[in-house]
Structures are given as C-alpha cells and as structure tokens.
C-alpha cells in the first residue's frame, strides 16, 4: 500500500453552521468530515444565524466549538454596514474579517462602497481581510484594500477574467491573495443537469469550461485551495428555493491529488496551497506532531450516504476518486484511523485566543 505522508491540511473556508442551523452541520459532524478528509484545521465563516458580527455571537460560537470541535479551528468575523468601528477589538479572537460584497447565503451582503472602504481602513492592518466578491466587485475590493495600504484575500475565485485581474494586480506588487475551490476546478455549468439544478446551486455559480481551464492554467497565481464546505440538506437543495452551497471536505484531497497526477501542480505546490500558504496568510500556528497518511492507490466511489458530513450528499456523487485518507494524527494522537473518527468532540483547539477564556477561567 503506497502511503503518502502529508502535513495536516488547513481549510481556510468552511461553513459549519453552528449555532443556527445544526440540522445542516454541527461542529461535531463538520470537524469529523474535516478529519476524514485529511484536514486538521478549519477556519469557519460568519454567515450563521444570527451572523457572527459582534462579541456576543462570537462568544456563542466559541462556546459550541470549544465543546464539540474534533480538529483545530478558527473563526472569521463578519463585516456589516454598522460594525466597522467595533471589529478591531475582536481581532485577537478571530482569524480574519470577512466581507460579503455579492449576494450569497445569509444576510451579510454589504451594498455600499462606503462600508467596503470603512472596513478596509478600520480592520487591523496585520490581520487578514477577506471577501466574497465576484466579477467587477473583485476590482473594487482590491482597490479599496490597496488604497487603505493593506492586503486582501479573495475567496473562491471562479472565472477567467477574475484570475487574470488578480494576476495583473500581483504583477503590479499589489497585496492580494486568493483561493480556489475544488468544485470550480473540476465542475462546470455543463455538469448542472447531471447534478440537478437545485443541488448545483452554489455561489459563485459553476462557470464555463473556459473559466475552469483558466483557473487551471493560472495555478501559480492561486495561493490557497479552500473547499467552501457549505452543507445544506438534500430536502433543502431539492426544494423550490434551493440554498447555494456544496459539502466539500471529504472529496477535496483526492481532487487536489488529481491535479498533481495531471501534472498541473507538484506535490510541494499542493502542500503550499493547503498548508504553508494558508498558515502564512491567516497567521496560524504550526501544528506539531500532526500529519495525514494517504493510500495513494485507494480507489473509491463517492456516495453521499457514506460521508461524515450531516448533509450526506455530494456534487461529486458517483465520481471515482483515487487517494484515501487512512490515518490522521493531530497533536500526537490518532484522530482518524481506517474509516473511524477517533478524536473526541472538544479535543480541537482554537488557533487564536478564546473570547470566553477569561470568563470560563473566572467560572472554574
Ligand atoms: O454557495 C455558497 N454557499 N456560497 C457562499 O458564499 C456561501 C455558502 C453558504 O453559506 O451556504
Ligand atoms: Zn462565498
Ligand atoms: Zn463560503
């Protein structure tokens, strides 16, 4: 059995849904899915119900993650039209400030140019600022950050024009980084009928084959891979009003390895995009005594019902994958072994200070 040993993977962009929608995913099930996929650290997005835009919501999320996370984690804080003056005080407890500049799931879309500029100026200059932006909005976000003298990270770049714009900005020395998802690297709008129209809803939408090819041709510009693991239940996806989003934690690594097999990326280039660059961009601590073992010859078929995610479906249903995670060791202990989650809920660590640490200490 050819075993490949990798450092623990980092996913800088997941939606674990708790608090607010535990029927879609919980910290328990979402971090189980992470470990099964080879991820030992996940950074969670703020578009919960209620959204994580202040200390109260952040401490509620911190409490549930602290009790239930099976792998290491961090929280992105959400920007809104009102909180620009208040976010910097929360920077020590978060891994980044997320701005929603185009429409997607949740209530956090900011309409005004003023709010974008205010957040780019007010957020701590050394803490990551990231955004959901598509098309022309990406240009606005890059310029606002540049004029504020700071870096910006563009989430889930999906189109040719966008990656080429980011390339041009980088060539000018502008401080912009970006991530792409496995689904935008492997699926296109031609796959929508087979996936089903509701299930195929995702933001950014699945794009054209030319867009996918442009992402693949510009991997040198792509700093990170991120799953954007965004679980919704099958009844929700198959409803009249399907929410956008795909579960992705358990299918990502074999797809990333397929890019290496196809000669689009070296193994070191993959490790940069799933470990080293996310760690650098989001200022994450090194995970010691932490690694992942992958049987590179293992061939398996994706069946949603077999996954650990509570969503129990995948846009890659029926795909044949090569590469199976056989073991994950996190902080010196087995966390996943031969198909079984070993790490206990609550064993994961916050990569930042816990906002509740003082009050929890006070209570004990
Ligand atoms: O498809 C998406 N789903 N895109 C996003 O930006 C948000 C996510 C979600 O939270 O469901
Ligand atoms: Zn997004
Ligand atoms: Zn997302």
Between CA 294 and CA 298 the distance in angstroms is 9
- Of 219, 79, 77, nearest to 144 by C-alpha is 79
pLDDT confidence of residue 359: 58
Does 363 have pLDDT greater than 70?
no
Q: How confident is the model at residue 213 (pLDDT cuts 50, 70, 90)?
A: very high
Does 360 have pLDDT greater than 60?
no
Q: Whose CA is nearest to atom 7 of ligand 1?
A: 105
**Length of the chain in terms of residues written:** 364
> Which listed ligand is nearest to 237 at the C-alpha?
1
Residue 68 dihedral angles phi and psi, to the nearest 5°: -120, -15
Triad 307, 232, 279: Cα angle to 5°: 70
Assess contact for 141 and 132: CB atoms under 8 A. no
CA 293 to centroid of ligand 3, rounded, Å: 27
324 alpha carbon, distance to own chain's centre: 20
HSE of 39, CA atoms in CB hemisphere, 13 A: 35
Between CA 133 and CA 155 the distance in angstroms is 7
- Domains detected in the chain: 10-286 (3.20.20.140)
pLDDT confidence of residue 1: 79
pLDDT confidence of residue 361: 52
pLDDT confidence of residue 4: 98
pLDDT, the chain, mean: 97
- Where is pLDDT greater, at 357 or 86? 86
Assess contact for 121 and 144: CB atoms under 8 A. no
What mean pLDDT do residues 281-296 have?
98
CA 89 to centroid of ligand 3, rounded, Å: 24
Q: Which two tokens stand for residue 312?
A: 């129990």
The percent of residues above 90 in pLDDT, for the chain, comes to 97
CA 113 to centroid of ligand 2, rounded, Å: 18
Q: Whose CA is nearest to atom 4 of ligand 1?
A: 203
Between CA 274 and CA 276 the distance in angstroms is 7
What does the pLDDT look like over 293-350, one tens digit per residue? 999 999 999 999 999 999 999 999 999 999 999 999 999 999 999 999 999 999 999 9
Does 203 have pLDDT greater than 60?
yes
CA 159 to centroid of ligand 2, rounded, Å: 14
**Helix residue ranges per DSSP H, the chain:** 27-36, 55-68, 113-122, 136-147, 160-171, 182-186, 192-195, 209-217, 234-237, 252-261, 267-271, 277-281, 357-363
Strand order in the sheet with 224-225: 9-14, 39-44, 72-78, 96-100, 129-132, 152-154, 176-180, 224-225
Does 157 have pLDDT greater than 90?
yes
Can you tell me which atom of ligand 1 is nearest the CA of 132? 6
List ligand 1's pocket residues with C-beta within 6 A.
15, 47, 104-106, 132, 202-203, 230, 243-245
What does the pLDDT look like over 16-26, one tens digit per residue? 999 999 999 99
The continuous run of DSSP H or E covering 108 comes out as: none
Q: How many CB atoms lie within 10 A of CB 320?
A: 10
What mean pLDDT do residues 38-63 have?
98
From residue 9, how far is each of 64, 256, 279, 280, 342 by CA, in Å?
23, 11, 10, 13, 17
Q: How confident is the model at residue 364 (pLDDT cuts 50, 70, 90)?
A: very low
What does the pLDDT look like over 173-197, one tens digit per residue? 999 999 999 999 999 999 999 999 9
What does the pLDDT look like over 95-153, one tens digit per residue? 999 999 999 999 999 999 999 999 999 999 999 999 999 999 999 999 999 999 999 99
Please return the burial class of 244, using the count of CB atoms within 10 Å of its CB with bins 0-12, 13-18 and 19+. Answer: middle
Assess contact for 76 and 34: CB atoms under 8 A. no
Between CA 32 and CA 69 the distance in angstroms is 8
Which DSSP string do the residues of 28-71 spell out, in sequence order? HHHHHHHHHTTEEEEEE-S--SS-S-SHHHHHHHHHHHHHH-SS
Does 358 have pLDDT greater than 80?
no
pLDDT confidence of residue 84: 98
């Amino acid at each position: 059995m050819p075993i490949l040993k990798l450092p623990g993977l980092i996913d800088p962009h997941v939606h674990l849904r708790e608090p607010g929608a535990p029927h879609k995913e919980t910290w328990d099930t979402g971090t189980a899915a992470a470990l099964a996929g080879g991820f030992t650290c996940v950074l969670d997005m703020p578009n919960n119900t209620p959204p994580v835009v202040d200390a109260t919501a952040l401490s509620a999320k911190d409490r549930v993650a602290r009790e239930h996370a099976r792998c290491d984690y961090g929280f992105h804080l959400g920007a809104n039209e009102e909180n620009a003056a208040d976010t910097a005080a929360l920077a020590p407890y978060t891994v980044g400030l997320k701005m929603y500049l185009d429409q997607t799931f949740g209530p956090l879309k900011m309409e005004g140019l003023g709010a974008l500029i205010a957040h780019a100026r007010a957020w701590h200059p050394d803490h990551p600022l990231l955004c959901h932006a598509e098309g022309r909005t990406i240009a606005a976000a890059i310029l606002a950050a540049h004029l504020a003298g700071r870096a910006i990270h563009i989430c889930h770049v999906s189109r040719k024009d966008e990656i080429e714009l980011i390339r041009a900005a980088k060539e000018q020395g502008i401080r912009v980084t970006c991530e792409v998802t496995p689904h935008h690297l492997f699926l296109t709008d031609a796959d929508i009928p087979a996936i089903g129209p509701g299930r195929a809803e995702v933001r950014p939408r699945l794009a054209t084959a030319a867009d996918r090819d442009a992402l693949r041709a510009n991997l040198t510009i792509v700093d990170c891979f991120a799953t954007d693991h965004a679980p919704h239940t099958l009844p929700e996806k198959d409803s009249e009003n399907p929410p956008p989003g795909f579960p992705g934690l358990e299918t990502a690594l074999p797809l990333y390895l397929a890019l290496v097999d196809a000669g689009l990326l070296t193994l070191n280039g993959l490790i940069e995009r799933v470990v080293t660059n996310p760690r650098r961009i989001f200022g994450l601590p090194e995970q010691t005594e932490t690694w992942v073992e992958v049987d590179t010859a293992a061939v398996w078929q994706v069946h949603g019902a077999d996954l650990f995610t509570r969503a129990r479906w995948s846009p890659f249903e029926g795909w044949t994958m090569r590469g199976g995670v056989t073991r994950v060791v996190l902080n010196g202990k087995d966390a996943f072994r031969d198909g079984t989650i070993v790490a206990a809920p609550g064993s994961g660590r916050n990569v930042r200070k816990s906002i509740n640490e003082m009050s929890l200490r006070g209570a004990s």
